[in-house]
Structure 1
Amino acid sequence: MAVAVLALVLAAVLTLTVGVREGGFSLVWQALSAFDPNDPAHIAIQSVRMPRLIAGLIAGAALGMAGTIMQAITRNPLADPGILGINAGAAFAVVIGSLIAGRADNGLMAALAFPGAAAAAVAVFALGGGLKGDAGPVRLTLAGVALSAMLLSFVSAIILARNEALEVFRFWVTGSLAQAGMRPLGYMAIAAVFGACLAIAIAPRIEALSLGSALARGLGTKPGRIQLGALVAVTALTGAAVGVAGPVAFLGLLVPRLARRAGGHVLRRELIASAILGAAILLFADTIGRIVIPPTEIRVGTMTALIGAPMFIWMARRLRAGASA
């Protein structure tokens, strides 16, 4: 856990100091403590890098916790808001709302991520056999991949018909922290905190539910209510992440595996560790994407996919072989 905290601190420092305009820690401190509106470096730090840092903290922590909750409640090591289509549902709702309203970057549009994420979560759970009590890891994963492909096809069809929607499509399909200053960071932070508190509150009951529905009922746990609470928490966390950064894939897959080591297989500790690790990994990925081929920027969603896709293949092969993740 201490290593995770140090990694997050280092990632935050790099986010503020590394970029097209190089600036050391002293410059960052001056920009934050004695802001000079006539200094371009101070303006860049205050208006670009600081919102980027806040957005990375919100999205990374939210996606890390959402992935941990999803893997715990479904007992599926491949569960992830991106793989199971929840990110796609949130992004699809925002794209449709943006095109109807004619605006892409206000709080109302970002708020549409929440009903989109909830609808996608319910759809995947139903398609994966959850309503019949047969939601196995493979079925949930296939349902999520199919739903993501379908939603992406709908969005692509809209883009072909309306060229002005291309910029909206680029952000809400790939994911990026570049436009963080234009996002409703305060409201999304509140939603993420709500989802995090709910997840931590019901964590012991989720652990009981992982023992099996019959045993959980014997321990006084009501599976239906716990699953509903977990769905609300995942919706709030995923909606907040998509609202500030777009659909960032694979982060919710990578983080829970590391969090289990840091949290000692206690779900509450794992959730805290996943928030720290998720934010750190997302900020590192964003920094690398900004410096790897300057002055061009690789979007953070692309960077996490480059890391997460091989990890997903490796984990899927282990699951097929019957090994425990």
Structure 2
Amino acid sequence: MSKIRNKPTLLLIVIPPALIVTMICSVMYGATTYDVSTVWRAMFHADFSNMDHLIIRNSRIPRVVGALLVGLFIAISGALMQGMTRNFLASPSIMGVSDGSIFVITLSMIFMPNATPLTLILYSFVGSILGLLFVFGVANLIPNGLSPISLAIIGTILGMFLNGVSQALATYFQVSQNISYWYNSRLHEIDPIIIKWSIPFALIGLIIAWIVSKSITAISLGDEVAQGLGIDLLKIKLLTILSVALLTGISVAMVGKITFIGLIIPHIARFLVGEDYKRIIFFAGVLGAFFLAWADIASRLINPPFETPVGVMTALVGVPFFLYLIRIKGGKQHA
């Protein structure tokens, strides 16, 4: 028991040095590898006529910051969804949340091609809510549609439908090139401006996640248990949906659809720190940030000087994990 209690403390000790190492490695490695002294000079004594310094400041640093933030946001969204629905297979990429964001972004590129970073975040947020409501609305109409495996299948199918419609519209209106960024998750093209605009919305989403975390712990044990503790289920679930939509919408607006992080990481966090969602949400966010940042580093190193799509790297871990969950958990909800 003492070992279990000490896990969160040990993780907290490891986080700061791990973050420094992750950021340094991400900035150093890529098509061009930089030494530590070059990175240091670019960060603190930049020569803006030096191309290497410009690449580090305008591309590499925003890239690792974006990867850390997006990994954090998606992992927390997945943890909230799994706790709220008591579904081990719930995640933004499976339940239509990310696909709804891309669908609305596609519409904005067609009808409002000059959207600002702020409006892009808002469109993505609206799309996240619509995607989530679409999947759960259809699932409610199907017998046993809310069981874990059924919901995962419905979410995957409807996500593919939304993606198909998005791509058809993009092709018809000749904006495929403009929206390819959101389908291919190009972290190296992340816009520093959109990172800045995302921070206020992200803070709102994270604060809501923290506020509902205690109630999510009770809901994860069953609605009856939560009601017995005096929890307003409708209010908490609406707040949770708002947090998930905000965090996922921001993530998609920043880098496009990233798969499997919201599925995998909450399970790892739950294994490490137990069933308290205050702990799960915090550590899922931290682990998700590191996971995506290192997946991005690996995507650059696996076939240099070319980059493997980061979605391939997350899928290499995510697909076996997804199949493992189906085999071990089956159609059962977690209590």
Q: Tell whether the structures are fold-level matches, with TM greater than 0.5.
A: yes
Q: Distance in 1 between matches of 2:290 and 2:205?
A: 19
Which residue of 89, 98, 105 corresponds with 1:78? 89
Which residue of 197, 208, 211 corresponds with 1:198? 208
Alpha-carbon distance, 1:47 to partner: 0.5
Q: Is the 8 A contact 1:129 1:139 kept in 2?
A: no
Which residue of 231, 238, 241 corresponds with 2:248? 238
CA pair 53-148 structure 1, distance change in 2 beyond 3 A: same
Please show how residues 109-124 of structure 1 align to structure 2 within 5 Å.
Answer: 109-124=120-135
Question: Match for residue 20 of structure 1?
Answer: 31
For these two proteins, the number of residue pairs brought into alignment is 324
Q: Distance in 2 between matches of 1:51 and 1:97?
A: 25
Question: Match for residue 276 of structure 1?
Answer: 286
Q: Distance in 2 between matches of 1:105 and 1:299?
A: 26
Q: Is the 8 A contact 1:5 1:276 kept in 2?
A: no
Alpha-carbon distance, 1:39 to partner: 1.2
Please show how residues 174-213 of structure 1 align to structure 2 within 5 Å.
Answer: 174-181=184-191, 183-213=193-223
Which residue of 129, 149, 153 corresponds with 2:160? 149
Question: Match for residue 113 of structure 2?
Answer: 102
Q: Distance in 2 between matches of 1:220 and 1:136?
A: 25
CA offset digits 1:156-203 (Å, max 9, x no partner): 21243244x222332112222121135511121222221111111111
Which residue of 57, 60, 80 corresponds with 1:49? 60
Q: Is the 8 A contact 2:102 2:163 kept in 1?
A: no
CA offset digits 1:133-173 (Å, max 9, x no partner): 9732123212211210110110221243244x222332112
For the aligned residue pairs, the C-alpha RMSD in angstroms reads 2.3
Identity %: 28
CA pair 294-105 structure 1, distance change in 2 beyond 3 A: farther
Question: Match for residue 37 of structure 1?
Answer: 48
CA pair 48-205 structure 1, distance change in 2 beyond 3 A: same
- The code of the aligned residue for 1:264 comes to G
Alpha-carbon distance, 1:130 to partner: 9.1
Which residue of 53, 77, 80 corresponds with 1:66? 77
SS of equivalent to 2:188: coil
Question: Match for residue 305 of structure 2?
Answer: 295
Alpha-carbon distance, 1:132 to partner: 10
- The code of the aligned residue for 2:238 comes to L
Q: Distance in 2 between matches of 1:155 and 1:274?
A: 31
Q: Is the 8 A contact 2:102 2:252 kept in 1?
A: yes
SS of equivalent to 1:129: helix
SS of equivalent to 2:26: helix
Q: Is the 8 A contact 2:30 2:305 kept in 1?
A: no
> What TM-score do you get using the length of structure 1 for normalisation?
0.92
Alpha-carbon distance, 1:301 to partner: 2.3
Q: Is the 8 A contact 1:114 1:236 kept in 2?
A: yes
- The code of the aligned residue for 1:43 comes to L
Q: Is the 8 A contact 2:109 2:179 kept in 1?
A: no
Q: Distance in 1 between matches of 2:242 and 2:59?
A: 32
CA pair 172-62 structure 1, distance change in 2 beyond 3 A: same
Q: Is the 8 A contact 2:269 2:280 kept in 1?
A: yes
Alpha-carbon distance, 1:44 to partner: 0.7
| Bigger mean CA deviation after superposition, 35-44 or 298-307 | 298-307
CA pair 245-268 structure 1, distance change in 2 beyond 3 A: same
Please list every run of 5 or more consecutive structure 2 residues that lacks an aligned counterpart in the other structure: 1-10
Q: Distance in 2 between matches of 1:265 and 1:4?
A: 21
CA offset digits 1:251-307 (Å, max 9, x no partner): 101110111133232211111111111111111111111222222222222321232
| Bigger mean CA deviation after superposition, 33-42 or 256-265 | 256-265
Kindly report structure 1 stretches of 4+ aligned residues shifted beyond 3 Å.
2-9, 103-107, 130-134, 321-325
Whether 2:137 is the aligned partner of 1:126: answer: yes
